[in-house]
Structure 1
Amino acid sequence: MKKSVITIAVATTVGLGTIFGGVTVKTEAESISGLKGEQTKIQDQRSNIKADINSANDKINTLQRQQADVKSEKKRLDFAIDDTTDKINDKTEKVKSTKAEVAKLQAETKVIKERIQKRNVLLKERARSYQENGGMVSYLDVLMGSTSFNDFIDRANAVATIVQADQEILEQHEADKKELLEKQTRVETNLASLQKMLVDLKNMNQQLSAQKKEKEKLLASLKDQEEEAHEGMLDMQEREQILAAQEAAIKRSIQNERERQAREAAQAKSNQSKSGSSGTSSTSSGSSASSSAPKVSSGSFTRPAPGVITSTFGARGGSFHYGFDIAKPGDNVPIVAAADGEVYVSHYSSSYGNVVYILHNINGQTYTTVYAHMRRSLVGAGATVKKGQQIGVMGNTGDSRGQHLHFELYKGRWQYHAAINPSGIVPL
């Protein structure tokens, strides 16, 4: 199973704990003292893991707040993009209307130019007439050629009218040229301003869209980090649960050890008072394993499953394999307890699948065995099992490739990556 950074950090902290020593317990007091020592170590580890869980939870809360901030910023950008898009559409429409105004002005300009051209022709004719008739002299001739005072007045009025008409033509000519220039300048300026505004808005929209993409990337990264932190926290919570179950099992082991010592003391006292009496011994395997289960060995441990060993303890493919893999095809391949003990964990793990943890107390020495990837478990936490008793069925659950049993042995309590080589201890 791929572990997150948080999980690896916690695993390293847990895994670096000292392995329970291998010195044989010499006295009954030392046996109970050793179990209490294990209990204290587990309590310390649980305390450390709880602190790490709290830190992971704080990190998750921080990541969630950061995501909320990014979502808020993304929402603001969405509104800004929407507003800018509306403005772009508005300015685009105004550019269209201004271009239509330009087209209309061009038509008006054509008319004005035609008027100017006609006036130019008229003015040229006037100028040629002035030149041919000596300019104002022709008007004097007109006045002097009057036959009476009334005729003079009429001719003077006619000359004034002609001069005024010429003046009005010139003034209109200049007004038309000025109007044309003003309209052209105004419309061209307006169009240039709108086109620049449109370009600026489009650039702004592109920048806002780029910012939105960056926020989306940041949000995706924060979500990945949160998922990783959740995975790490769940892994730590599972480890804490295993340690809690171990602590409870050790408490029961202490009580069982006290009761065993009391029974042995009572038996010894009884034996002393019954000199020469002999008891019968009975052998009980307590096994409910099927006929395909491995034969129960003499000694403290027995083989946990039938089949072929496909992987041993040690380096494997660039990593380290902390147990033995035993594979056997078929349905209902039994898995048995390797020694007498108490089941303190029986659950589903994302890495080990259906897995059982058993705590053993053998001649004052504590051992832990782990049975992983089972198709199903037949025992629950708190169950007392005997060596060779069936506890599950071989399977392919969790992070597994093919039906097999992954078996681990720990000297003392379970600790991450602290398993020992079962060869020479468990008959495999």
Structure 2
Amino acid sequence: MTKVNWKKGVRVFTASAAILLCMQMPQANANDLSELKNEKQQVENKNNELNATIQQKESELLNNVEAQQKAIEQIQALTVKMADNNKKLDKLTQDIEQKNNEIAALEASIKELIRKIEERDALLQERARAIQASGSMNYLDVLLGASSFTDFIDRFSAVNTLIDADRQIMLDQEKDKKRLEDERKQLEEVKQQLEAQKAEAEKLRETLLAQKAEKDRRIAELEAAEKQLKQEKSALEVEHEENVQLTAEIEQKIIAEQERIAEIARQQAEKKAAEAQAQAAQQQQTKSSSTSNVPAATGPVPQVSAGAWTRPTTGTITSQHGLRNLGGSNEYHYGLDIGNAAGTPVVAAADGVVSHAAPLGGYGNLVMISHVIDGEVFTTVYAHLNGFNVSQGQTVSKGQQIGIMGSTGRSTGPHLHFEIHTGPWQGQQVNNINPMYYIPF
């Protein structure tokens, strides 16, 4: 081998090794980034589960407090009923006591009445014995035996008096006996009514006491359950806080990995000495990393603009960057939506390195590319893709097709959601800028 050929071979080998090194380093970093994102997704899933469980415990606590409040209100109502019933019992007791006093007074009156009846009975018996001893009394003989008219009048008056007295005694006797029977019956009825009312009030009192005891037991159970729920919720909140800290740690690792890939992109942007060889290697890598299951593109790729940036796809801008109204509620839109038919080609907006090529939440199928332009790092985001033909760590050129338009993730129709961030991607809201500042649409 001649000296010239040997030197040429060394240069080719050195250039090839440099190209392979640039190709492999991003791939290794991209794999680490993918693992970190998977780990973050797992932690976020755990976080969501903890949030859901905490919300469930909060709901159970609210239900428990409502049940306690309801039980307390029922106890208060029972307490009012018991107070009213106790007043009723006190009133009935007083009424019964009053009736007992009236009965005692009436019994004294009855005793006096009985005495009078007994006296009349004795008088009537005495008159009966007198009539029996003297034989039958003939008032006509008494009248005819008068010695004069004056004596006749006197005898007539005496006979009428005797007759009226006997009749009155018998009437009074009959009346007092009936009154005695009526008063006894009335007192008995009143006493029975009062006793029945008292028994009913006593029964109600026992029922209310039983209901209150049951409510007291229920409140004790609810208070114990509330204590348990608070302990469980507190433990979940501690776990959630630890999980949030873990998520923050993973996010910092992701940010660091993004920065590392961005630095690699910066180094690659500064090392374009062997452009022809790198282009050949890039085409070979693109060919080997393309996915075979991506649907064919429909329509032409957009015309590549002059300068560092170019339009990522063709179509109409359907939603601007900034605040927008969706279904009556406002939300901030962190990119541009470009609508067109599903399958419309999507290209890289600038030279760079693919830092993400996989589904990601509401973004659906997502490609992120890190760029270094005039020494400044940028990240572009291409969301809702129907498919993509690049992989993490792959170097792409401005205007190179990276996927096709679709409607995956949180989407209402085929369109490209396109974002630009200054610096490495650190979440949708961080360092987000309006793409129209850099790209002519």
Q: Distance in 1 between matches of 2:128 and 2:244?
A: 118
CA offsets per residue over residues 354-383 of structure 1, 9 Å max, x none?
Answer: xxxxxxxxxxxxxxxxxxxxxxxxxxxxxx
Residue 240 (str. 1) matches residue 204 (str. 2):
no
Residue 261 of structure 1: how far off its partner (Å): 7.8
Alignment of 1:227-266 (within 5 A): 227-257=227-257
Residue 31 (str. 1) matches residue 11 (str. 2):
no
Alignment of 1:12-411 (within 5 A): 27-137=28-138, 139-257=139-257
Secondary structure of 2:91 counterpart: helix
Amino acid across the alignment from 1:31: D
Amino acid across the alignment from 1:186: Q
Contact 1:98 1:191 in 2 (8 A): yes
Contact 1:36 1:254 in 2 (8 A): yes
Quickly say closer, same or farther: Cα 1:262–1:154, change in 2 above 3 A: closer
Residue 217 of structure 1: how far off its partner (Å): 0.8
Secondary structure of 1:207 counterpart: helix
Q: Distance in 2 between matches of 1:148 and 1:255?
A: 154
Amino acid across the alignment from 1:68: Q
Query: Percent identity of the aligned residues?
Result: 30
Amino acid across the alignment from 1:234: S
Secondary structure of 2:124 counterpart: helix
Runs of 4+ residues deviating >3 angstroms: 255-267
Amino acid across the alignment from 1:144: L
Contact 2:30 2:261 in 1 (8 A): no
Q: Distance in 1 between matches of 2:65 and 2:46?
A: 28
Amino acid across the alignment from 2:230: H
Residue 247 of structure 1: how far off its partner (Å): 0.8
Secondary structure of 2:247 counterpart: helix
Structure with bigger gyration radius:
2
Q: Distance in 2 between matches of 1:159 and 1:258?
A: 143
Contact 2:131 2:137 in 1 (8 A): yes
CA offsets per residue over residues 43-76 of structure 1, 9 Å max, x none?
Answer: 1111122122222212211121111111111100
Q: Distance in 1 between matches of 2:254 and 2:173?
A: 120
Q: Distance in 2 between matches of 1:258 and 1:121?
A: 130
Amino acid across the alignment from 2:239: R
Q: Distance in 2 between matches of 1:263 and 1:112?
A: 125
Residue in 1 that maps onto 2:342: none
CA offsets per residue over residues 310-348 of structure 1, 9 Å max, x none?
Answer: xxxxxxxxxxxxxxxxxxxxxxxxxxxxxxxxxxxxxxx
CA offsets per residue over residues 64-118 of structure 1, 9 Å max, x none?
Answer: 1111111111100000000000111111111111111121122112211111111
Amino acid across the alignment from 1:143: L
Q: Distance in 1 between matches of 2:195 and 2:248?
A: 78
Q: Distance in 1 between matches of 2:131 and 2:141?
A: 13
Residue 178 of structure 1: how far off its partner (Å): 1.5
CA offsets per residue over residues 242-281 of structure 1, 9 Å max, x none?
Answer: 11110110111233456678899999xxxxxxxxxxxxxx
Amino acid across the alignment from 2:142: V
Contact 1:129 1:135 in 2 (8 A): no
Contact 1:92 1:198 in 2 (8 A): yes
Amino acid across the alignment from 1:75: Q
Bigger relative contact order (CA 8 A; separation at least 6): 1
Tell me the matched-pair count.
Answer: 241
Amino acid across the alignment from 1:183: E
Residue in 1 that maps onto 2:340: none
For the aligned residues, what is the CA RMSD? 2.3
Amino acid across the alignment from 1:44: N
Residue 180 of structure 1: how far off its partner (Å): 1.4
Secondary structure of 1:136 counterpart: coil
Residue 162 of structure 1: how far off its partner (Å): 0.6
CA offsets per residue over residues 149-182 of structure 1, 9 Å max, x none?
Answer: 3322321121011110111111111111112112
Q: Distance in 2 between matches of 1:80 and 1:234?
A: 40
Q: Which runs of 5+ in 2 are unaligned?
A: 1-26, 268-441
Quickly say closer, same or farther: Cα 1:266–1:150, change in 2 above 3 A: closer
Q: Distance in 2 between matches of 1:240 and 1:70?
A: 33
Residue 197 of structure 1: how far off its partner (Å): 1.0
Q: Which has the higher helix share?
A: 2
Q: Distance in 2 between matches of 1:50 and 1:261?
A: 33
Secondary structure of 1:93 counterpart: helix
Contact 1:46 1:240 in 2 (8 A): yes
